[in-house]
Amino acid sequence: MDLCIAAGAAALTLATQAFTLAWTHSVEKTEWQEHWEVTAQGLDLVEARIKGSGAGMEPPSDAVLQDGWYVYRPDGPPLAALRLAVSGATGEGWRLCAHGDCTVLDDLLASATAGAPAGTSRGGPYGEIVLSVCER
């Protein structure tokens, strides 16, 4: 399975079976991480981590504190698509990590489309970034 990433006119395929999505909460400035698997059923959220707690971002009751992170396993079905809002309020924007490398999603998308503007997940023209399992 491959991961498809699309926003506006930019689109790319990433050959990976798992990835981590990371971002900074816009109000509390706290790091969040979600570990996803790319499966035939869709994108499956297998673990989430929050570096602290605060207004509107309390960890669930089954979360375990490990090395300063609240770690838990969300319970839900795989998603056909994961839609990421682009507010520009978080500074760096959405970060995607796969195969030991991390990059800001708008930088990845800008490199995939000639002439695409940089800074898109930092409040630029995309509006949203959509992650999904690529159809073969």
Q: pLDDT, tens digit, for every residue of 39-75?
A: 999 999 999 999 977 767 788 899 999 999 999 999 9
Q: Are 109 and 118 in contact (CB under 8 A)?
A: no
Please give the Cα distance from 7 to 118 (Å, whole number): 12
pLDDT digits (tens, 9 = 90+) for 21-32: 998 876 667 889
* H/E segment holding residue 125: none
| Structural domain spans, the chain | 3-126
pLDDT digits (tens, 9 = 90+) for 5-22: 998 878 899 999 999 999
Please give the Cα distance from 10 to 17 (Å, whole number): 21
pLDDT digits (tens, 9 = 90+) for 88-131: 666 678 999 999 999 998 788 777 665 545 444 444 555 789 99
Q: Which of 62, 66, 29, 32 is nearest to 48 (CA)?
A: 32
